[in-house]
Amino acid sequence: MDDLDERLIGELAHDGRASFRTLADRTGISPSAARTRVTRLIDSGVVGVFAQAHPAVLGQPVIHLLTLTGRTGDLPDPDTVPALDGSAWIARVTTAPALLVQMSTPDLDTVRAEMAHLGTLPWVEHVRADIYVRLHAGPGAGGLTHTQPGPWTAEARPLDDTDLALVARLRTDGRAAYTDLAAAVGRSVAATRARVLHLLAGGAVRLTTVVRHPAGPAEQAQLALRADAHRRASLLTTLTGTPGVDYIAESTGDHDLHCSIGAPTVPELAALTTTLAALPGVLSHTVQPVRVLRHRLAWTSGVVEQRLPPPHARVAHA
Q: What is the pLDDT of residues 139-175, one digit of tens each?
A: 998 888 888 899 998 887 778 999 999 999 999 999 9
Confidence band, pLDDT 50/70/90 cuts, at residue 213? low
What pLDDT sits at residue 303? Answer: 64
Q: Where exactly are the structural domains of the chain?
A: 1-44
Q: Are 287 and 238 in contact (CB under 8 A)?
A: no
Name which residue leads in pLDDT, 308 or 91: 91
35-42: average pLDDT: 94
CA–centroid distance for 123 within its chain: 28
Whole-angstrom CA distances from 90 to 107, 274, 291, 312 are: 21, 24, 9, 35
Mean of the pLDDT values across residues 250-277? 94
DSSP-derived pairing of the beta strands 219-227 and 150-152: unpaired
Q: What does the pLDDT average to over 301-314?
A: 56
Mean of the per-residue pLDDT values for the chain? 90
Residue 315 CB burial class (10 angstroms; 0-12, 13-18, ≥19): middle
pLDDT band at 253 (very low <50, low <70, confident <90, very high): confident
pLDDT recorded at residue 307: 57
Q: Count Cβ atoms within 10 A of the Cβ of residue 265 and give its class: 0-12 exposed, 13-18 middle, 19 or more buried.
A: exposed
Tell whether the model's pLDDT for residue 309 goes beyond 70: no
Mean pLDDT of 300-304: 72
Structure confidence by residue, pLDDT tens digits, 215-240: 556 899 999 999 999 999 999 999 99
Torsion (CA) 146, 150, 155, 159 in degrees, nearest 10: 10
Q: Report which of 220, 252, 242, 233 is spatially closest to residue 100, judged by C-alpha positions.
A: 220
Q: Is the pLDDT of residue 315 over 50?
A: no
- In the predicted structure, residue 314 carries a pLDDT above the cut 50: no
Region 93-118 average pLDDT: 96
Q: What is the mean pLDDT of residues 168-192?
A: 95
Q: 1-44: which CATH architecture?
A: Orthogonal Bundle (1.10)
